[in-house]
Structure 1
Amino acid sequence: MTSHPARRLTLGALVNGSGAHVAGWRHPDARPDGQLDFAFHADLARALERGRFDALFVADTVAPLQGHQLDSLSRTGRAEHFEPLTLLAALSLVTEHIGLAATATTTYNHPFHIARKVASLDHISGGRAAWNVVTSVVPLEAANLGYDSHLEHELRYRRADEFVQVVKALWDSYDDEAVIRDKEAGRYYDPAGLHTPHHRGEHFAVRGPLNISRPPQGYPVVFQAASSETGKEFAARHGEVLFTAQHELGAAQAFYADIKARAAAHGRAPAHVLVWPGLTPLVAPTETEARRSLAELQDLIHDDVARRLVEDNIGDLDLTGHPVDGPLPDVPATNRGKSRRDPLLKRAHDEKLTIRQLAHRFAAGAAVAGTPEQIADHIETWFHAYAADGFSISFPYLPGPAEDFVDQVVPLLQRRGLLRTEYEGGTLRENLGLPRPVARARHLQETGR
């Protein structure tokens, strides 16, 4: 197969210090101590940059990633992790080209804080920052921030929509050339180029302006993930790189076409909305060895963790005391995210899966175990079938599988003309082929005096 002349494959890496697989930290070759070891993260970032990845992405919740049940939390490597923006600011000093994407929730943050922090990262990194916009799905986050209850699904997205609009208005506080630093004239910035949002809406009142000049990229790249109807509409309005969880080619093609059509309906160029399905590659010399490695990882999932995996992804369900090799009990309604819940429930019902089998399906997720050629074939097939513009690649444990992908799969993608051999641009937007936004119209802003 040959590459499509109008498109180029883009790649992001989802970095979790203990690996993407919930039992990955237990693998004999894993480095669970890397979770809070900056040198480990720096080596990994440089390896991904050597593989010409567009971006590395650090996920986050403002609670332990595994939820609140200590029996299962104590059996995972997810009880501790760096705050993403702090880590990425440090990584910007040991890398030159790779984009740096951080999760920051719109549910339990304030727009001014996020606008300021992400703009700062964009300046520090020379235009390589990205913000992964999420609405919190873990109810425990509410308690950590002093709330009695978690916001309802639709309300979370209304808040997020307003949040993004305010952040962009704050990033536009200064025109691109407003900060002149003219010593001779004694003028630090041109007052005609300062604009204050004076926003007052359903959720936020923000006067502005932001106390940092416009980011090098205009706006740092907006990452987003959603599968519900509300989430897809939000993504079509705001997202520039969209994570998706489809594991079957047909479903991925349908999602791809749907998102591109929704983006066009909002007046956006579909080519400027990149769709990245998840992919967890496990490379081995033969397919048999790769599948055996994956099976060995699955066998490391403790029963408590298996129950919690199902609880966390279906929501508001207590499986304590239920045998993991028994059926799933009746499932109540939930206020959690729906993008994972609905496919899981359908799969459990259609295939009559036990709790353990369902947990293993979720733990495997988007795993593709095979030879370098098989993994490269999978990527190329999905790309040419318009199921993906690129992939959000996570690794079951670290650092070995990441190094294997960079050393064995990336060269195949480059020889097939799919993946760059050198970085073309200086900013993340340039490397992704995304335009730099111009400052927005000022009809909702007041010129600073």
Structure 2
Amino acid sequence: MNSLSDESAPSRRGERRVPMRLLVLSLAGASLLLLVLGTLVVLALMRVWGGEVGLVHAALVLTAFFTGVMVLVAAAFGWHAGVRLTRQRLSEPLREARQQLLMQAQLQRDWQWATDATHRLVRWQAPQGAPSSSWVGAGARTQQLWERFEAAEPAAQLRERLDARQPFGELLLGAAEGDARWRLRGLPCIDSQGHFAGYIGTAQPDTGEPTAALPAPAQPDLTAEHESFSYTVSHDLRAPLRVVEGFARILKEDYGARLDRVGNDHLDRVMSAAARMNSMIDALLSLSQLSTRPLARQPVNLSQQAGYVMEELKRSAPQRELVLEIEPDLIVQGDPTLLRMVLENLLGNAWKYSAKTDCAEIRFACTEQGGRRVFVVSDNGAGFDMRFAERLFGVFQRLHSASDFQGTGVGLALVRRIIRRHGGDIWAESAVGEGARFYFTLG
């Protein structure tokens, strides 16, 4: 059989085992030896003590000693038999499972291979019916996996993946002997102790023909999924939240006077957390609705929309000092409602994160990069560490604590989804304490 494991690894049937009769003879011989030695020791001690050794006395001593030895022999024999039976009982299902897996592997179209922890090839097994001529020739068991293939860039990539203990997809490699080419896949194995134990993988001879395309999966019913999700979020999640919020409000109104300052503070925290959760559910629903909502493209004046957003923000805190610059006549094609949500989130973040500066500066402008218009919203607020920039656009990902700046962690994820639906992209630049700049394009 074309398998290194079958050629070099010892078979289970050939393993050395101690025959049962040899074990019994060994135990009997050891018992007899102990009996003789014990008798001599007992007689010698009785002579040393000066006593006369009578036949009855000696017989009793020998009988007791022999009985003890036989008990030990019987116990050892029983222990060994129990261990052997237990081992057979446990190993038989494992042996059957291993045999079934090997048979299933042979029925597959792929070849099976495995390495040990040092990347030595310990198995290279052909599928059933594969011609011997298609086998990458038999080699020593100590052969490294990459040594079976020609020294080229793919083989170097294979060695890098193996050394890094990373899984790898399809690598096309030429055989070191002959003209055969192989498509290899592999996964690292971890043993029960958590240590790296080698690789297992599959290989396919490359015929030069394109791989048959898999049938396209059935498209899910997005409308039905969205309706189910919306019902779950709006009903199942809000129901227990309403209970928490309602009872907290009852406690506050009816028993607030009986609670001390700490108790009232705890209630305020519960009610505040419930309100935040409601806001997060609203944001999550808005995010989910974008996947099914059609775009109503029409001319949109972003400058005008930005002005409306900033007017609303300034009314919420009229005492704040603000330097506001909005470039005029920034007209694009897009969905006015969705683009308004983009500006509300970006300008709202600029307003929020610049709240702790003496004089906030917020700008909305447009530049050109690579022949495309790039819109930018900038501020001089708290900023953020660029090492965590990608987290900005994840759902419920925040770079500032809720105690410093309130928020749901969904706004920028919503912004990116809207912009990508318009065929654009968004990215950010910032430094801690130096404000932030959010750039976006529209298709």
Whether TM exceeds 0.5 here: the answer is no
TM class, shorter-length = under 0.3
Q: Higher helix share goes to which structure?
A: 2
Larger radius of gyration: 2
Q: TM-score, normalised by structure 2?
A: 0.20
Q: TM-score, normalised by structure 1?
A: 0.20
